[in-house]
Structure 1
């Protein structure tokens, strides 16, 4: 399918030595194309035009409807994820919430990541009541910062310590500071995903959420032999935009079940997604 659409994308996928990395690259390439065509933002598969901005951020160069659309991709562990919006810019990050094999404990991992945190963030993470809570807080800080910098299109060399996400005031709606100044134009969504193995028998998805959705988050489990065995955390940064009355009641922490019920989360197995992508490609090429 990739070869039929874009030879350069085929080369990008095939350059990876490990099969799992080729799968990640393939799904990451297909997700935005399927979204654009299935929602009617682009008339046909061949009309999709995705470019890369300075800092490596992908963007849609044009679409048939002329409407705004933004998307962002991330992958880790069992999941490849995409967030997209018809109203705002989005950035997304997913991390498997397990201790890396090279770390002895959650506290040692926290010390390893200390340079990416402010002093207040580091203190908050270390104050977790258990190793599990320390690890959970560390992933809160990391995924939110990663999602925000991806939203902004900041490169890999950006100093994460310039950002402070103040979870200690409110986990449901943390305040944000950047370069020691309050930043009020961004909001976060957090979704906890179970191990991908939980979805190995999931039925195929028939379509993406409706075009009218403000923000939508889609995930694909890489394969039936899920590699992680543990859950993953997803953070989505939305903005910049002016605060509204609706934002005052914003709850950033949502379960996968609730997000699915509300219509802005779609989950596929790898096999189901590839089947759907082939269908979209064949119908619009």
Structure 2
């Protein structure tokens, strides 16, 4: 059914050449004045590109659901009080989209839904510090059960310290110098972070929400594959202790460092508390279809 179709796109901004970056930035002029101003305020080019590419992908995705011949200028997007973009015109019931960017990637999820959210994270640790110290910055983000998953369902001293001193001024820890047990904990930390973000973005809330009221569960002993071809669906969500089986949750990887989570409630479901059927992948077998700059540029020019 067309109503069940979801678009999942991903584009690596760090793969763009200097020439492609400049060509991309020229498309800033296609956005509303307020968005142009916001993008031009970014100090670092990569930050401007992440924001811009997200907006370009969103408009192209919306156009793919509209009648043939609809032009770029006919799509109007605004932001609500939570700063979340939404489609104003053309008015299409339940046509939602969500964008996320972190590290190398910009990702988009779009389709007809009651709720829809996506988040991409990068597995990293800022500053030269003990893993336990890094985790201590997030006491109100995860539940006790989620911390058990992150730490591997056991109390451990493995999180103490880095393998060696980092160079002065280092901002990100090189994962290659960490013990494997710490790397796995960082992966599980960012998997849970992406899941949390995907849900609060779907419901239109920010990180000011009480995140410990939202709990994700992965079966004990279950290992999430880092293979980009694998999509994990054995994840459950509870809010204030009540399970939400109508939420379709997925967790996958774009590459070995970037987990990506989605949260989706179909536009027509059997009602709250009713389980939803799993989603299919794209027609070419990919879960998130990687778009190239050449494809993006060509698509934009066709609808101008």
TM-score normalised to structure 1 length: 0.73
**How far off is 1:141 after superposition?**
1.5
| Pairwise CA distance, 1:41 | 5.1
Question: 2:62, 2:110 within 8 Å by CA — same for their partners in 1?
Answer: no
**Is contact 1:37–1:280 with CA below 8 Å preserved after alignment?**
no
Please tell me whether the aligned partners of residues 88 and 239 of structure 1 are also in contact (alpha carbons under 8 angstroms).
yes
Equivalent in the alignment of 1:59: 86
Q: Tell me which of 245, 248, 252 is aligned to 1:187.
A: 248
Deviations 1:15-37 (A, max 9, x none): 11111111111111111111222
For residues 239-273 of structure 1, give each alpha carbon's deviation from its aligned partner in whole angstroms, at most 9, with x where no partner exists: 164477762xx48xx9xxx767325522124xx2x
Q: Which has the higher helix share?
A: 1
d(CA) in 2 for partners of 1:95, 1:260: 25
Is there any run of 5+ residues in structure 2 with no aligned partner, and where? Answer: 1-26, 155-180, 223-231
1:1-285 aligned within 5 A? 1-40=27-66, 43-63=70-90, 66=92, 68-98=94-124, 100-102=125-127, 104-127=129-152, 130-168=181-219, 172-194=233-255, 231-239=257-265, 241-242=269-270, 247=277, 250=278, 261-262=284-285, 264-269=287-292, 272=293, 275-285=294-304
Aligned-pair distance for 1:131?
1.6
What do you get for the CA RMSD once the two structures are aligned? 2.8
Instruction: Quote the Cα distance in structure 1 between the aligned partners of 2:258 and 2:275.
Output: 31
The alpha-carbon deviation at position 163 of structure 1 amounts to: 0.7
SS in 1 for 2:250: strand
Structure 2 Cα separation of the partners of residues 73 and 7 of structure 1:
20
Structure 2 CA distance, aligned partners of 1:122 and 1:245?
A: 26
Q: Identify unmatched segments of 5+ residues in structure 1.
A: 195-229
* 1:211-239 C-alpha deviation (Å, 9 max, x unpaired): xxxxxxxxxxxxxxxxxxx5200000111
Q: Is the 8 A contact 1:72 1:91 kept in 2?
A: yes
Give TM-score, length-normalised by structure 2: 0.68
The 10-residue stretch of structure 1 (140-149 or 33-42) with the greater mean CA deviation from structure 2: 33-42
In structure 2, the CA distance between the partners of 1:110 and 1:184, relative to structure 1 (3 Å rule), is same
Work out the CA distance in 2 between the residues paired with 1:172 and 1:156.
24
Whether the 8 Å contact between 2:247 and 2:264 is mirrored in structure 1 is yes
Is the Cα–Cα contact under 8 Å of residues 38 and 280 in structure 1 kept in the other structure? Answer: no
Q: CA deviation at 1:166?
A: 1.6
Shift of 1:88: 4.3
Identify if the C-alpha distance between structure 1 residues 109 and 103 changes in structure 2 by more than 3 Å, giving closer, same or farther. farther
Against the structure 1 CA distance between its residues 180 and 15, is the aligned structure 2 distance closer, same or farther, given a 3 Å change threshold? Answer: same
Over residues 55-100 of structure 1, what are the superposed CA-to-partner deviations in whole Å (9 max), with x where a residue is unaligned?
2221111337x453211011111001111122442101101123x2
Classify the secondary structure of the residue corresponding to 1:116.
coil
Could you say which structure has the larger radius of gyration?
2
Q: What is the total number of aligned residue pairs between the two structures?
A: 237
Query: In 2, are the aligned partners of 1:107 and 1:126 still within 8 Å (CA)?
Result: no
